[in-house]
Amino acid sequence: CFDALSAKLVERAGFPLTFVSGFSAAAAKGLPDTGLLSYAEMESVMRRVTAVLGGRLPAIGDGDTGYGNAVNVKRTVKGYASAGLAGVMIEDQVAPKRCGHTKGKEVVDRATAVARVRAAVDASREAAPTRDDSVLIV
């Protein structure tokens, strides 16, 4: 989904969860999926989606590349968890990212990828320190 209305349609169709797509959110604004939407813009989309779903349907959010380095990944995961998401997908592309459907994508080196994953896991644990339902990192 990409907004509150599309989230309601996913729920009404009976799906067990929804994915808040960066591609779709960008397309709804007439933009390509090349990282032009900021973290704040995407977090706002996530909050509107989870608000309309009211906890009845889990949502996984597109965290792009985490919007920067490992520190930014941590902020993204914490912010998305605070917005009510059940999970976050973080890509391993270099910046500027390219849409997943296009050619010429490049991935970060192993050390950067490991740092991003560690930051995401730490953020998930910090966001839900006493819960068993920490934010899933994909």
Q: What is the pLDDT of residues 90-132, one digit of tens each?
A: 988 887 776 666 787 888 999 999 999 999 999 988 887 666 6
* Percent above pLDDT 90 for the chain: 73
* pLDDT on residue 103: 80
pTM value? 0.89
Cα dihedral 107, 113, 117, 119, rounded to 10, equals -120
Burial 39-58 (b: 16+ CB within 10 A, else e): beebbebbbbbbebbeeebb
Length of the chain: 138
Closest CA to 76 of 89, 86, 63: 63
Q: What single letter denotes the amino acid at residue 134? A: S
Class of domain 4-137: alpha beta
Residue 2 has pLDDT above 80, yes or no: yes
